[in-house]
Structure 1
Amino acid sequence: MTKQPLAQFELIAFDALPTMPVYMEQLLQIVNQTLAPLEIPAVTKTMVNSYVKQHFFSRPDGRQYTRNHIAAVLIVTLLKHDFSLGTISQAILKIRDSRKIAIRYTQFATAFEKALRQTPVTITSQDAMTQAIQFAAQTVAYHLLTEQALG
């Protein structure tokens, strides 16, 4: 199997995430299939349960996870290789409290994909959260590009 260049990677769009709640196995399948081209460790049930216990997101309703849960797991999985869980938790809580989950997820995805394509990410917003999201996305992308360059 030939390795897909990172420049071709696309994070699943928020609107493409399931609108109907999914069970744990489906969540894991979506997250792990989406992130597989990045060759990062797979997400496990234990990890997701840990994220719930650490309040990265709310408990599932009747063992079913929403698109917001899926988005959070995708982002936490990407961020945890470069940021402390405390920093991630602080960011997730601010985003959740702002009720702008879809917007913030899209901002992250856009900045992440641009950085993987080595396209400059122009930081024009004065909004501190937008800047933090863009910086974090670039950090993760450049980390992955560095690992790929080193072989």
Structure 2
Amino acid sequence: MLSSTSPSNYLLSWEALPTVPVYMEQLLAIVNQTIQPLGLPAVTKTMINSYVKQHFFSRPTGHRYTRNHIVAVLVVSILKVDFSLPVISKAILQIRDSRQIEWRYQQFREAFEQTLNNQPIVVVNNDAVTRAIQLAAQTVAAHLLTIRALDKLGE
């Protein structure tokens, strides 16, 4: 499960994501390298194609995926631990339609990492979407922390 017990960054910051579109193999490498230390199952090409068909995000242009695509795949891969795909889809579409993907990803990332690092969640803006993002991130992070704690009991 979680490979680190000291505070660290688990998810890529927006600025660390590629600024130019990437091909499927690169997208898979970025996502899987990010979620592997969390103990999450690898994402496959079939899964990404399914997400496109289910309209989690728009089709890539020229078989190339943008930052928005990478973020969507990362977030879906993490949220799948505790939430159904229809629930995730509803949230992803609302955020996509709001055109606030960078800001909302940063909110998710901060809440997720603060929870994994046993730090209090800092609430800057307490609108309903922010609260839902923080709760979802905390839910999955708490799940992963619970698995880590249970794994240590067996040692």
Q: Normalising to structure 2: TM-score of the pair? A: 0.92
* CA shift for structure 1 position 122: 3.8
* CA shift for structure 1 position 136: 0.3
Runs (4+) of structure 1 exceeding 2 A deviation are 3-10, 122-126
* CA shift for structure 1 position 4: 2.8
The whole-number CA distance in structure 2 between the counterparts of 1:113 and 1:69 is 21
1:68 aligns with 68
The whole-number CA distance in structure 2 between the counterparts of 1:64 and 1:124 is 34
1:119 aligns with 119
The whole-number CA distance in structure 1 between the counterparts of 2:4 and 2:115 is 16
User: SS of 2:65's equivalent?
Assistant: coil
Superposed CA RMSD in Å reads 1.3
2:135 aligns with 135
Q: In the TM superposition, what are the counterparts of 1:2-13 in structure 2 within 5 Å?
A: 3-5=3-5, 7-13=7-13
Distance 1:26 1:6, change over 3 A: farther
User: SS of 2:34's equivalent?
Assistant: helix
Q: Normalising to structure 1: TM-score of the pair? A: 0.94
* CA shift for structure 1 position 7: 4.0
Which consecutive unaligned segments of at least 5 residues does structure 2 have?
Answer: none
1:6·1:38 contact (CA, 8 Å) conserved in 2?
Answer: no
* CA shift for structure 1 position 120: 1.5
The whole-number CA distance in structure 2 between the counterparts of 1:88 and 1:121 is 22
2:145 aligns with 145
* CA shift for structure 1 position 6: 7.1
The whole-number CA distance in structure 1 between the counterparts of 2:82 and 2:50 is 18
Q: Which amino acid aligns with 1:81?
A: V
1:77 aligns with 77
**Number of positions where the alignment pairs a residue of Structure 1 with one of Structure 2:** 149
The whole-number CA distance in structure 2 between the counterparts of 1:142 and 1:6 is 16
* CA shift for structure 1 position 126: 3.2
The whole-number CA distance in structure 2 between the counterparts of 1:110 and 1:130 is 11
Q: Which amino acid aligns with 1:87?
A: V
2:27 aligns with 27
Q: Which amino acid aligns with 2:104?
A: R
Q: Which amino acid aligns with 2:21?
A: P
Which consecutive unaligned segments of at least 5 residues does structure 1 have?
Answer: none
2:54 aligns with 54
1:16 aligns with 2:16: yes
CA displacement, residues 97-136 of structure 1 (integer Å, 9 cap, x when unaligned): 0000000000000000000011111445331000000000
The whole-number CA distance in structure 2 between the counterparts of 1:98 and 1:89 is 14
Report sequence identity in percent.
Answer: 63
